[in-house]
């Protein structure tokens, strides 16, 4: 109380009862405090509500994105799965015992295939059916097993295109659904991709999703036991989960179109690195099989080096991309009697384009030729002695 009196006396305020004055000051203070905290609380409360509204909106937006993506993948699976088959193959294998005695036995393997026509043609990987006997069966997405299946043909083991075709001869009254083939030349890194296949040979029509991680990949692929290997070119790389048994199955875009045939997966500690053959690279084979009922592999008949900066420097060439018909000790770059010889190609020619499409990291010579059919004429852009010229060549069937 003495403190209040000193303050008041110093300010020479009118004397009022201390109790009344203390009460008045207290009320004013409380009133101001109440108004201040009320305003602050209202402001904070308003801000919290706004933040909650924003957070709720963001959360709902995120949820909607996830739901939309999930629905999209679900729709793709429903659309494409009827065109995907599981393939079971019986092959004859040899085993030698400790005493050098050999015996044969049956070996079971499994993979995936894609129906490409309602008449029963199926595309898959060569390594899925390589060495198969007549015992090949396919299982449809509804679980129906079809046993009357014929191996139409497959590319040679030295071919960089790991492809084979089957024909379902007896559908048991089942109507087959052909997959829609897309245009793999339009695929960009980062595009969404979905894989469907017989994962591990026992989980039919497994669906996984990811993105296209790269294109134009070349690699040396081998079997899981290391007994076989093959060189593959111009592959898509994807982080979509691909497992053993997925081989031969489709890699699909968001429109439900097949843009690739799954063919390999990286091992040795690698995760989510799978590879697929671009569908455009097999369009010529598909066309021939559907029209003629047999597999014919178009070829030029050349030996060449795919140019890059390093090889261009090594061979002292001004052209840094293309197929260089390089002389070698293994034989002439032009195979005798081949379409290339008939068209007048020569050693040290550099093929830079096929029908106007450049040979580069995204389009290898093999992939560009594979898009054509036997009997088609193609125009080669060739650099010879530093000068560019056009040469027309008629593709012929490769004789294995």
Point out the catalytic residue in the list 86, 141, 209, 247. Answer: 247
Point out the catalytic residue in the list 130, 162, 281, 349. Answer: 162
What token pair was written down for 258?
């097949």
Confirm whether 104 is a catalytic residue: no
Give the whole-angstrom CA distance, residue 88 versus residue 83.
16
Half-sphere exposure of 227 (CA within 13 A, CB side): 4
Give the whole-angstrom CA distance, residue 397 versus residue 400.
9
Structural Rg of the chain based on CA atoms: 35
- Residues with Cβ within 8 Å of 73's Cβ and at least 6 positions away in sequence, in order, are 194, 207, 209
Among 150, 148, 152, smallest CA distance to 170 is for 148
Confirm whether 127 is a catalytic residue: yes
Write the DSSP string, 188-213.
-TT-EEEEEEEETTTEEEEEEEEEEE
Going by their DSSP bridges, the two strands 298-299 and 258-265 should be labelled as: unpaired
Give the whole-angstrom CA distance, residue 313 versus residue 319.
10
Please answer whether residues 151 and 132 qualify as being in contact, where contact means their C-beta atoms are separated by less than 8 angstroms: yes
Give the whole-angstrom CA distance, residue 85 versus residue 177.
11
Give the whole-angstrom CA distance, residue 271 versus residue 225.
19
Point out the catalytic residue in the list 88, 127, 141, 281. Answer: 127
What token pair was written down for 339?
């379409």
Provide the annotated active-site residues: 127, 162, 247
């Amino acid at each position: 109380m003495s403190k209040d009196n000193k303050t008041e006396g110093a300010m020479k305020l009118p004397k009022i009862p201390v109790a009344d004055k203390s009460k008045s000051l207290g009320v004013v203070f409380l009133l101001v405090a109440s108004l201040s905290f009320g305003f602050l609380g209202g402001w904070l409360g308003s801000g919290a509500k706004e933040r909650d509204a924003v957070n709720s909106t963001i959360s709902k937006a995120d949820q909607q994105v996830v739901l939309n993506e999930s629905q999209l993948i679900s729709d793709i699976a429903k659309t494409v799965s009827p065109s995907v088959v599981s393939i079971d193959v019986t092959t004859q294998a040899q085993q030698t015992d400790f005493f050098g005695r050999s015996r044969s036995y049956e070996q079971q393997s499994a993979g995936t295939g894609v129906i490409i026509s309602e008449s029963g043609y199926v595309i898959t990987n060569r390594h899925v059916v390589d060495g198969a006997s007549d015992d090949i069966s396919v299982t449809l997405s509804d679980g129906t097993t079809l046993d009357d299946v014929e191996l139409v043909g497959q590319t040679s083991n030295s071919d960089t295109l790991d492809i084979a075709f089957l024909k379902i001869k007896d559908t048991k009254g089942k109507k087959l659904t052909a997959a829609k083939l897309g245009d793999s030349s339009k695929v960009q890194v980062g595009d969404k991709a979905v894989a469907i296949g017989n994962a591990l040979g026992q989980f039919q029509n497994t669906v996984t999703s990811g993105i296209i991680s790269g294109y134009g990949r070349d690699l040396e692929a081998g079997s899981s036991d290391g007994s076989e290997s093959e060189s593959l070119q111009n592959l898509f790389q994807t982080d979509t989960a691909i497992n053993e048994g997925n081989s031969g199955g489709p890699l699909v875009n968001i429109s439900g179109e097949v843009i690739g045939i799954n063919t390999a997966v990286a091992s040795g500690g690698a995760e989510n690195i799978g590879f697929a053959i671009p569908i455009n690279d097999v369009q010529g084979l598909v066309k021939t099989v559907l029209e003629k009922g047999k597999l014919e592999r178009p070829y030029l008949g050349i030996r060449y080096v795919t140019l890059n900066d390093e090889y261009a420097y090594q061979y002292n060439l001004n052209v840094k991309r293309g197929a260089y018909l390089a002389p070698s000790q293994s034989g002439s770059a032009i195979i005798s009697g081949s379409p290339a010889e008939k068209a007048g190609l020569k050693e040290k020619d550099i093929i830079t384009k096929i029908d106007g499409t450049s040979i580069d990291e995204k389009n290898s010579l093999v992939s560009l030729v594979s898009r054509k059919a036997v009997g088609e004429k193609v125009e080669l852009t060739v650099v010879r002695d530093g000068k560019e010229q056009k040469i027309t060549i008629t593709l012929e069937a490769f004789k294995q």
